[in-house]
Amino acid sequence: MNEQQFAQTLSQLDSNIQPERDLWPDIAARLDTTCQQKPDNTAVAAAENDKRSGLRHWASAAALALVTLIGWQLVILPTSPQQSAASPNAELLLLQLYEQQKAQQLAQVVAVAEGFDNWQQQLVIWDQAIAQVRRALQFYPDEPQLLAQLQQLYQQQLRFIQQATLQQPLITS
């Protein structure tokens, strides 16, 4: 049935129809019963509010404990810059090892071998290549290929120093 049919059927009804009996006493009785039950509903609602507020207090306490725990961990546990300062990375270990070996070799140089007149210029070129790889390692720390390349450059440089110079043997006492 659409709206037009509904309106037509409604207009055909007699508007002077009266109920067979008086409905007010039943309505009044139901209203009284509802009013008498309302205080009980209010008590139930108050009890539910107490439960909810108790839950809110526990939830607030739990959230506060969680925030305190996280704050405590941030203070106690070292952050990444502190960790990296505490434990040197692979690049720094390579740098220390090879610079120490390079300094030892250069300290033992007595003369330059034939055909290596510009050996110091070659060392500068290797130092520049090493600096470029170290810059790349700043963006990609602990990248295995860059670390391998850095190690290879250091080894090449040390071999070149050995070939290009005549070195005094190290005397150990």
Q: What is the pLDDT of residues 9-65, one digit of tens each?
A: 888 887 787 778 888 888 888 887 766 655 555 666 677 777 777 777 777 777 777
Task: Kindly tell me if the per-residue pLDDT of 133 is higher than 70.
Answer: yes
Q: Strand, coil or helix: what is 31?
A: helix
DSSP 110-141: EEEPTT-TTHHHHHHHHHHHHHHHHHHHHHST
Residues 91 and 156 in one domain: yes
pTM attached to this predicted model: 0.45
Higher model confidence: residue 155 or residue 17? 155
Residues 45 and 120 in one domain: no
Does any domain span residue 3?
no
Task: Say which amino acid occupies 66.
Answer: L
Q: How far apart are CA 92 and CA 100, in angstroms?
A: 12
Domain boundaries, position 56: 22-77
Q: How confident is the model at residue 128 (pLDDT cuts 50, 70, 90)?
A: very high
Task: Kindly tell me if the per-residue pLDDT of 80 is higher than 60.
Answer: no
Residues 72 and 97 in one domain: no
Least confident of 54-68, 69-83, 93-107, 148-162: 69-83
Residues 103 and 48 in one domain: no
Q: How far apart are CA 65 and CA 60, in angstroms?
A: 9
Burial of 64 (0-12, 13-18, 19+ CB in 10 A): exposed
Domains: count for the chain: 2
Does any domain span residue 15?
no
Residues 49 and 118 in one domain: no
Average pLDDT, the chain: 77
Beta strands per DSSP E along 4-151: 109-112
Residues 96 and 129 in one domain: yes
Q: How far apart are CA 53 and CA 46, in angstroms?
A: 10
The pLDDT of residue 137: 86
Least confident of 55-64, 66-75, 118-127, 132-141: 66-75
Does any domain span residue 14?
no
Q: Which residue has the tokens 């539910």?
A: 48
Joined together, the tokens standing for residue 49 give 């509010």
